[in-house]
Structure formats: structure tokens, C-alpha cells
Amino acid sequence: MFKRVLLLAIIVTGIACYFLFDLQRVASVDFFQNLYQQQPLLTAGIYFLVYVLATALSLPVGALLSLAGGAVFGLTAGVVLVSFASTIGATLAFLISRTLLREWVQEKFAHHMQAINRGIEKDGAFYLFSLRLIPIFPFWLINLSMGLTSLRVPTYFWISQLGMLPATLVYVNAGAELAAITELSPAGILTPGLLLSFILLASLPFFAKAVVGLSKRWQVYRPYQKPQQFDANLLVIGGGSAGLVTALIGAAVKAKVILVEKGKMGGDCLNTGCVPSKALIKAARSVADIRKAHELGIDVDEPHVDFPRVMSRVQQVVDTIAPHDSVERFTDLGVECLAGEARLLSPWQVQIGERTISAKNIVIASGAEPFVPPIPGINEVDYLTSDNLWELRDQPSSLLILGAGPIGCELAQAFQRLGTQVTLVDMMSNILPREDTDVADLVRQRLEQEGVEILLNHKTVGFEQQHGTDIALLEALADSSADESLAGGQHKAQRKLAFNKLLVAVGRKAKTDGLGLQALGIEITAQGTLAVDKHLRTRFANIYACGDVTGPYQFTHTAAHQAWYAAVNALFGSFKKFAVDYRVIPWTTFTDPEIARVGISEADAKEQGIAYEVVRYPLSELDRAIADNTTEGFVKVLTAPGKDRILGATIVGSHAGELLTEFVTAMKRNMGLNKILGTIHAYPTLSEANKMAAGIWKRGHAPKKLLTYVEKYHYWRLRRKS
């Protein structure tokens, strides 16, 4: 504690003296030039100490002092003085931060510190070298921030000196050239040496970036031998949406493409995800429509569900679509399709069975799979996931679903409508936690009306069997509305729930096992996905990843969206690279009513501190919805305050996924609600709901003062005789 107080006192005294005795003038060129003519060694010593002190105290005068060093001492002596003074000063600031300012810097610059800590954790000392060459953050902040890391002092010193040397050379040279100006005329100022200095100063960031890139590339690729020739321009691992689109684009531009898939072509979406689930939802919705027919004046008997036929039809739908993603189709398009497991041997070589294939670029699109939590006893239960659910032919009498996200809610409603008693369990306080509360509440009410039992704030703690019956052990979690005895640490309420079948729908995890990623040092994030940069590159510039294996959105359409960037960057990145655009990502939850959203929700806006206005139009007022008996739901649009710029849109209702496209297009093309209002919509259609919402916004932003004058004008016209 005494050391900290003493150090703080020294720093405060130093800063006070700097300003009290007007030491700013010591940093001026005139001061040093006058002194240098009389006592060169003393001048160098004073300059050195001033530079060290200014840097140690994080005063923003480094650039000026470097220019002054060149102007006074010339290039060679100036570089030596500035290089060592700046490094010693930076190291002192580093030590001051480590000793004194740890908590303050962490709190004050938390956002920057997160980025720096990630960089140090990932690349260690090389990250510091990169920051010195390409100052993303100010040098003083780097000094303070690095003091909070585990970097050793000697390492920090020599890396800083080496990393700052190019900038030191450029600044000192610029100062020396400025000092050489003898006349204030265009000819005297625009000398070749000074122009070169300005060019070097302007090009330093680009040069430094290139040096860092080459250094990092050399460091990453150094352990591996690059093949003399390649079997393919592009090798794609995974035949799902991301992999197929990548291969399709590669073949379309006449590249030699090899596609590897160990399972079924089409991936999860075709075989176990989007396609079969929507076919099942269609059957369930038909049952619901029949039951509601009496509301339209049509009396029918209770529908009979032939569950095996329903599931057979689901498989028929998959089989009908499968040729679109088949080996035969992609072979005809010029893609070489291989069956087997792929394992990376090097940045350019992949082993598939007994065969080793070399490729100039590799795209990992291995997808994701259902996550099964390690709940005690779960392996003793014949549980279902979205992978094996479609093998069912005997309808379960009761179905317990873990997870109230989109998949859980969609399948809960579908099975309940088909005649299975469904219980939906989740640890969260509401279903569909990514949606706004009003959206989730509406769907929750519909599910409960149709008979789904929903147990929220419940944790599944185990499974057991009693007399041949599967039992789930549930534990009520304490929350703001829970009984006080739970929050007080007493025994939590438990419940035993018998079920016929269990469906696990708590989320999905990236498929990364068996690919050889660990041996190559390819980073996997805390979420279990592959770490990629904005161009979808892994740590190897020629290995890309796209789709569910990397996220951040696990949707088929985002997988295809990423695939374009991965393919184009891999094949043409030497000319131009494209950063993935995630600004306008739509998604739909296919419950009834459907939920479709693009952009931010109200919850997102509040969490991110984004100011917004909200417009809401109920479908109960829409003519077509009334005629169709589908009045449940609404259109909700978030706009920037006082402007028609769309920040986000959520639609709840029949065909919400189709209706959302207008907002997706508007946001993508930077069109506001005025453009939607001015677009003709056919009557009577559901799409008129979007125009109606735009109309509500327009009325809410009408120019009231102007309308007052317009009203007076019309009144004046009425009173005129001619």
C-alpha cells in the first residue's frame, strides 16, 4: 500500500511540475535547438529525460517530441534517442499501470480491455507487436492496458522497441526534413526529401499492416509444407445448405471443386430439420383448420389422425426434394462428390478414408447437431432429438419436450394438434426468450389454449424409471415471482412427471469433432463454434468456415448467405475480399400464429441503449384477416425517433414469414415507412397490414402546425364567393 501511495505522489508531483513550471516549452523545437548549439550532450540528456517522463505519464506529446528529435539531432541520433526514450517511457507506464491503475483502467476502458485481453490470450506477444506496428489504440492506452496483462517486462520492452521502430524512423525523418527547410516557398518546402517523408508517414499504416500480415502468415504456416500442386481449387467439407451453395458457386465460376459429405446430402435442413418439420406442421395445421371449420359455418366430425401415414408423408416430402441436393445433380454441375469423413492433415491436405486430397482452399461447412445436456439418467431414456424424431411411426400418448425455443414450440404445437398430450419444460421465465414479451405471451396463450402444458422456471434434474414408466424429475427454480421460501434457500419444490416419449430441444452445437482442428490449432470459441474473422477465415487464410459450424445465426438462409462470402473470398480473395454483411437477417418461427422478425426488437433496443419509436397495427382490423378468420396477431415496427427509418419489424400472425419480406427489402435498400406507404398493395391481402402500419406512423408524424394553416386555408376557401 505504501509503495502505491508513494508512486501516486511521484506521478502527481511530476504532472504538476510539468504544467506549473511551464515545461511544455521544453518540448518545443526552438528550446532544444538553442540549447543544442551551446551544449549538445546536455541537450540530448534533457530531451531524453523529457521524452521518458512524458511517455511514462501518458502525456499526448509523443509525435511532437519525435518530430522535434529529428529536427534537432538529425536522423541517426534522433532515431536512437527516440527509440530508447519511448521504449523506456512506455515500460514505465506499463509498470505504473501494473502497480497502481489496474482497477481504474479495467473499469474506465472495459470495452477496449476486452479486445486487448482477447488478443493477448489468442496471439500473446505477437498481438502487442501488431498493436505497435498498427496503432488501433493510442500508444498511451496500450501502455496502460498491457500493464494489466501477464506479459513479462523484458518481453514488453523489446517487442515495444522493435514494434515502434518503423514509426520512429518515419517521424524522426519527417522532423529532420522539416528542419532542413531554408525558404518558405513552394520550391523550398516541397523538397524530394520532405515529400518522401510525407509519403512514408501516410503509407506507414498500410506498410505496417502488410508487415503484420506477412509475419502472422509466416508464423501460422511455418510448420507445414505446401504442396507443389493441388487436386482442387476448392474442397468443401459438408453437404448441407452452406456446403452445397459454396460448391455451387465454385462450380459456376469453373473452379475445380470437391465436396465431401459423410451422411446424407442436403444436411440437417433437408433430412431432419426445416423440410420434415414444416411437412409435419402442415399436417397439424390441417387438423386445427378442420376443428375451426364450424366457425365458418361448416360442421364436420372430429378429424382422425393416421399418425403412421402422416410420418410417411413427411418422408415422402423429403424424398421429393432430395434430388435438388443430390450427388447426381451436383456431379452434373461439375462438382466431384465424395462420401466419407474428412480430416484435416495440413492447411492444404484432407484425408478422406484412404485417400489424401490437396486443395488450394478449404471451406468447413460441417453444420451442427442437437445438444443433449448431461442430465443424470438421460442416457437410460430412449430420448428423441430432431435427428431421429422422424423415424417415429407409433404416435406417443404423451410427449415431454425439453426446451421452449423455436424448435420446441413448433413441435409442441404440432404434436398436440395431432393428438399427443405435450408438456413443454424450460428453465427460462417465458417461451421463445429471443422475442419480445408481448410476442412470446401471445404464442404461449395459443399453445395453452390448445392443451399444451407449459412449465417455465423448471429445471430437469434427472430421469428414472418406476414400474416400467419413464419419470422426469423437475425442480422449480426461484425467481421474482416464486415463493419466498425458495429464495430463502429452503428445499426447492420438486415434481415427478411421467411421460411416454422425451424430445430434447434445448439447442444445437457445432459439429467439430473428428475434423483434425485441434492438431492444426484452429480455434473453437466458448460457444463451441469455429472462430472466424469478418471474411470467414480461420487462423489459416486459406481455410474458411460457414454455416452452423461457425454461427452466429443457425439458420439455413444465413448459411447460404455466408456460403457466398466463403466461396468468393476463397477463390478471388487475392483480388478483393468481402466482409460478411449481417445487418439484415430475418427469421421465422413456424408456430400458429407465425412469428417473423428482422432487425432489433424492443428488448434489443433497450439492452443496447438505442432510442426508438414503436408502431403497432393489430390484424384484427385488417379486412383480409377478418375474412380469413385469422385476426390473431399484429405488425410491430421500430423506427428511429422522428424518422421513418426502420430499425426492426416483428410480425405475428398468419403467413408472417411471407409478409416480413417487404420489411427485409426495405431495410436492405435503406427505404423507410414512407416508401412502403406510397407502394400500392392489392386489396384485400394480408400484405396490406404492412401499409397500414406505415400509415399509423405517418399519422403520428403529421406536421400539426402546417395542418392548422391548411385547415384555415380550406375554411377561407369555403367563405369565398367566387
Q: How large a percentage of the chain has pLDDT more than 70?
A: 84
Instruction: Check pLDDT > 70 for residue 11.
Output: no
Rounded to whole angstroms, how far apart are CA atoms 444 and 449? 9
Query: For the structural domain made of 232-370+509-572, what CATH number should be given?
Result: 3.50.50.60
* C-beta separation of 69 from 78 below 8 A: yes
* C-beta separation of 208 from 133 below 8 A: yes
* Paired strand residues for 636: 616, 650
Q: In what order do the strands lie in the sheet with 501-504?
A: 453-455, 421-425, 398-402, 501-504
Rounded to whole angstroms, how far apart are CA atoms 520 and 347? 8
Please give the class, per CATH, of domain 593-704: alpha beta
User: Per CATH, which fold does 378-506 belong to?
Assistant: FAD/NAD(P)-binding domain (3.50.50)
Can you read off the three cell numbers belonging to residue 144?
A: 496502460
How much is the average pLDDT of 593-620? 96
Q: Give 460: exposed, middle or buried? Use CB within 10 Å, 0-12, 13-18, 19+.
A: buried
Rounded to whole angstroms, how far apart are CA atoms 422 and 384? 14
Q: Each residue of 617-661: pLDDT tens digit? A: 999 999 999 999 999 999 999 999 999 999 999 999 999 999 999
**Residues 6 or more apart whose Cβ sits within 8 Å of residue 227:** 348, 349, 358
257-261 and 501-504 as β-strands: parallel, antiparallel, unpaired?
unpaired
Residues of the chain within CATH 3.50.50.60 domain(s) are 232-370+509-572, 378-506
Q: Each residue of 366-422: pLDDT tens digit? A: 999 999 999 999 999 999 999 999 999 999 999 999 999 999 999 999 999 999 999
Q: Which amino acid is at 134?
A: I
Q: Give 563: exposed, middle or buried? Use CB within 10 Å, 0-12, 13-18, 19+.
A: buried
Residues of the chain within CATH 3.30.390.30 domain(s) are 593-704
Helix 139-146, helix 62-96: angle, nearest 10 = 10
Q: Which amino acid is at 623?
A: D
Sign of CA pseudo-dihedral 224, 226, 231, 233: positive
* pLDDT of res. 69: 83
Q: Each residue of 122-153: pLDDT tens digit? A: 666 677 777 776 656 667 677 777 777 767 88
* pLDDT of res. 483: 44
